[in-house]
C-alpha cells in the first residue's frame, strides 16, 4: 500500500509515465514505441527536475545579492519548495487528490460542455498539495478530504482553461488547443485590462525588431542576455566586496555574475528539453485516452505553447510584470504586508503569458498594462496567502502563481466557517 501510495503515486514522474503508458496502449502502438514513449516521458520529468535545480541554485545567489542590495528580507515565492515541505506531511493525500482529480477532470470533460483535459502535470500536483494542506489544517481529514479535494481540483482543471479559451482562440487563431496553467486569473485579468485600456490595432508583433536583433528570437540567447543585465545591476548595488567574500569565493564579481546568468539560461534550456520530451509523448497519449472517453476533447497545455504566437509580447510582458513586482515590493510594507521578492521565473512565465493575452485584446498597450496587472497580482496574492499558510508553519516561502493565491485564500477562509 505504501509502495503504491507514496513511491509510485507520490512520484509525479512515474504518475505521468503511467498516463503516457495508458495512452500508448489505448492507441495500440508497437511494444517498442510503448516502451520508448513511457521511458522518455519519465525521463522528461527527471530532466525537468535537473534543470530546476540548476535554476534554483542561480536564483539563490540572485536572492542573496538582492537582499544585500536593497537591505531587505522578503518571502521568495517558490512552488517547488513549498510543495516539498507539504509533501512530508500531506504526501499521500496530495497524491490521491491528484490522481482522483485527474479522473474527475476526464469525467467533467465527458459530461459537461467544458471539454478540457488539463495536461500541465506539475501544476496539478501543486494544486493538489495546496488543497490538501489548507483543508487538513482546517480539520478535514481522510476520505472526505480526498473526495472534496478531488472534486475541487478536477473542477479547477476544466474551469481554468475554460475562462481563458475565448482569448486563446484569438491568440492561436484556432480552437484546437487550450491553456492549462494555474496562473489563469492573471492571464484573464491581463486580457480584460488589455481590452478595456489597450488598442488592438497596434500589435506588439508589428514592432519591427531589427534584423540584426533576430538572434534574440533564440530563447537561450535572450534569457542569457536578460539575466546578465539583471545580475550585473544587482551585483553592482550589492557591492563587489560582499559578493567576493560571501558568494563567489573570491572570483571577480562581474565574472561571477556573468556565469550565474548563463547558468540560469542553461537551466532554462534543460527545462525546455525536458518539457519537449514530456509534451511529445503526453499529447499523443492524451489523444489516446481522450479519443476513447471524451469526444472533441481539447488538450490544455503549459503556457509556453502560446509564446510563439507573439514572441515580442513575451519579452514586453516579462519586463512589464517584473517592473510591477519590483514596485509592489516597495508598496507591500506600506500596507503592513510581508515583502514578496519578485521571482524571475514566475514573472518570466506568467508575465510573458499575460503579455501575449494582453496583446491579443489590446495590442502594445494591452501587453504592457495587462502584464503589469499580472505582476501586481502575483506580488499581492502571495502576501495575502501567507496568513493562511503561515499557521501551517510554511513561513519563509509561498506559492507563486495567481490561482494558488486566490484558491488558497478562498479555501482557507471557507474551511474556517465550518
Work out whether 218 is an interface residue with other proteins (CB under 8 A): yes
Inter-residue contact 301 to 180 (CB < 8 Å):
yes
- Nearer of residues 20 and 406 to other proteins, judged by Cβ: 20
Burial class (CB in 10 A: 0-12, 13-18, 19+), 396: middle
Q: Which helix (H) or strand (E) holds 116?
A: strand 116-118
CB 29, min distance to other proteins, A:
15
Q: Which residues of 214-250 are buried (b: 16+ CB within 10 A; e: fewer)?
A: eebeebeebbbebbbebbeebbeebeeebbeeebbee
Alpha carbon distances (Å) from 137 to 36, 93, 315, 397: 42, 12, 40, 17
Spatial contact of 260 and 61, defined as CB atoms under 8 Å apart: yes
Q: Which one of residues 127, 275, 294, 337 is an interface residue with other proteins (CB under 8 A)?
A: 275
| Nearest residue (CB) to other proteins, 220 versus 251 | 220
* 27 contributes a contact to other proteins by CB under 8 A: no
User: According to the binding rule CB under 8 A, does residue 220 interact with other proteins?
Assistant: yes
Which x/- pattern over 152-181 shows residues binding other proteins (rule: CB under 8 A)? ---------------------xx--x----
Q: Please tell me whether residue 306 binds other proteins under the rule CB under 8 A.
A: yes
Please give the DSSP secondary-structure letter assigned to residue 246.
I
- Does residue 269 interact with other proteins by CB under 8 A? yes
Residue 258 vs 273, nearer CB to other proteins = 273
Q: How many residues bind other proteins (CB under 8 A)?
A: 25
Quick check: 283 binds other proteins (CB under 8 A)?
yes
For every residue of 247-259, DSSP letters joined together read ISTTS-HHHHHHH
Q: At what angle do helices 142-172 and 184-197 cross, to 10 degrees?
A: 30
What span, in angstroms and rounded, lies between the C-alpha atoms of 134 and 156?
A: 16
Please identify, using beta-carbon distances, which residue of 71 and 174 lies nearer to other proteins: 174
Kindly give, in sequence order, each residue whose CB lies less than 8 Å from that of residue 292, ignoring residues fewer than 6 positions away: 26
Please provide the distance, in angstroms rounded to a whole number, between the alpha carbons at the two ends of the chain. 32
Stretch that binds other proteins, among 7-15, 40-48, 267-275, 291-299 (CB under 8 A): 267-275
Based on CB atoms, which residue is closest to other proteins, 303 or 337?
Answer: 303
DSSP assignment letter at 202: S
169, 170, 200, 217: which one binds other proteins (CB under 8 A): 217
Q: Is 225 in the site for other proteins (CB under 8 A)?
A: no
* Cα torsion angle, 218, 224, 230, 233, sign: negative
User: Considering all CA atoms of the chain, what is the largest pairwise distance in Å, rounded to the nearest integer?
Assistant: 63
Q: How far is CA 185 from CA 133, 143, 236, 314, in A?
A: 21, 30, 36, 18
308 forms part of the interface with other proteins (CB under 8 A) = yes
Q: φ, ψ for residue 42 (rounded to 5)?
A: -65, -40
Binding residue for other proteins (CB under 8 A) from 35, 46, 103, 221?
221
Q: What is the DSSP letter of 178?
A: E
- Cβ distance to other proteins smaller for residue 283 or 415: 283
Judged by beta carbon, residue 7 or residue 176, the one nearer other proteins is 176
Using CB under 8 A, pick the residue from 121, 149, 180, 311 that binds other proteins. 311
- Segment contacting other proteins by CB under 8 A, of 97-105, 266-274, 331-339, 375-383: 266-274
- What residues are paired with 305 via a beta bridge? none
Q: Counting contacts by CB under 8 A, is residue 72 touching other proteins?
A: no
- Choose between 280 and 376: whose C-beta lies nearer to other proteins: 280
CB of 97 to other proteins, least distance (A): 28
**Angle between the N-to-C axes of helices 219-238 and 253-293, in degrees from 0 to 180, rounded to the nearest 10:** 140
CB of 172 to other proteins, least distance (A): 8
Q: Which stretch in 52-60, 77-85, 215-223, 242-250 sits in contact with other proteins by CB under 8 A? A: 215-223
Minimum distance, C-beta of residue 8 to other proteins, in the bound complex (Å):
28
Nearer to other proteins, 90 or 116 (CB): 116
DSSP annotation of 340: B
- Residue placing its CB nearer to other proteins in the complex, 50 or 240: 50
Residues of the shown chain interacting with other proteins in the complex, contacts defined by CB under 8 A: 173-174, 177, 214-215, 217-221, 269, 272-273, 275-276, 279-280, 283, 304-309, 311
Amino acid at each position: 500500500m505504501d509502495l503504491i501510495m507514496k513511491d509510485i503515486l507520490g512520484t509525479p514522474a512515474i504518475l505521468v509515465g503511467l498516463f503516457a503508458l495508458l495512452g500508448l496502449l489505448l492507441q495500440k502502438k508497437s511494444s517498442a514505441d510503448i516502451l520508448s514513449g513511457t521511458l522518455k516521458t519519465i525521463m522528461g520529468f527527471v530532466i525537468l527536475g535537473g534543470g530546476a535545480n540548476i535554476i534554483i541554485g542561480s536564483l539563490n545567489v540572485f536572492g542573496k545579492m538582492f537582499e544585500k542590495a536593497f537591505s531587505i528580507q522578503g518571502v521568495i515565492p517558490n512552488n517547488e519548495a513549498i510543495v516539498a515541505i507539504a509533501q512530508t506531511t500531506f504526501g499521500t493525500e496530495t497524491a490521491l487528490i491528484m490522481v482522483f482529480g485527474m479522473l474527475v477532470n476526464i469525467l467533467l470533460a465527458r459530461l459537461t460542455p467544458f471539454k478540457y483535459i488539463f495536461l500541465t502535470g506539475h501544476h496539478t500536483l501543486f494544486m493538489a498539495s495546496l488543497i490538501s494542506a489548507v483543508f487538513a489544517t482546517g480539520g478535514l481529514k481522510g476520505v472526505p478530504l480526498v473526495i472534496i479535494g478531488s472534486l475541487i481540483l478536477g473542477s479547477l482543471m476544466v474551469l481554468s482553461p475554460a475562462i481563458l479559451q475565448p482569448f486563446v482562440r484569438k491568440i492561436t487563431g484556432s480552437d484546437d488547443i487550450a491553456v492549462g496553467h494555474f496562473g489563469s486569473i492573471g492571464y484573464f485579468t491581463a486580457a480584460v485590462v488589455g481590452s478595456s485600456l489597450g488598442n488592438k490595432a497596434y500589435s506588439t508583433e508589428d514592432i519591427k525588431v531589427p534584423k540584426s536583433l533576430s538572434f534574440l528570437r533564440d530563447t537561450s540567447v535572450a534569457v542569457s542576455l536578460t539575466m546578465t543585465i539583471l545580475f550585473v545591476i544587482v551585483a553592482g548595488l550589492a557591492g563587489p566586496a560582499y559578493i567576493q567574500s560571501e558568494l563567489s569565493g573570491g572570483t571577480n564579481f562581474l565574472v561571477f555574475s556573468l556565469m550565474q546568468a548563463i547558468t540560469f539560461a542553461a537551466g532554462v534550456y534543460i527545462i525546455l528539453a525536458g518539457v519537449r520530451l514530456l509534451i511529445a509523448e503526453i499529447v499523443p497519449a492524451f489523444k489516446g485516452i481522450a479519443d476513447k472517453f471524451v469526444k472533441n476533447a481539447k488538450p490544455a497545455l503549459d503556457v509556453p505553447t502560446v509564446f510563439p504566437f507573439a514572441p515580442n509580447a513575451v519579452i514586453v510582458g516579462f519586463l512589464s510584470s517584473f517592473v510591477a513586482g519590483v514596485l509592489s515590493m516597495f508598496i507591500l510594507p506600506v500596507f503592513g504586508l510581508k515583502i514578496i521578492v519578485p521571482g524571475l521565473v514566475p514573472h518570466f512565465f506568467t508575465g510573458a503569458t499575460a503579455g501575449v493575452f494582453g496583446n491579443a485584446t489590446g495590442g502594445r498597450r494591452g501587453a504592457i498594462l495587462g502584464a503589469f496587472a499580472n505582476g501586481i497580482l502575483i506580488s499581492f496574492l502571495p502576501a495575502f496567502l501567507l496568513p493562511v499558510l503561515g499557521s501551517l508553519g510554511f513561513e519563509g516561502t509561498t506559492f507563486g502563481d495567481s490561482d494558488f493565491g486566490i484558491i488558497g485564500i478562498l479555501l482557507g477562509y471557507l474551511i474556517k466557517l465550518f
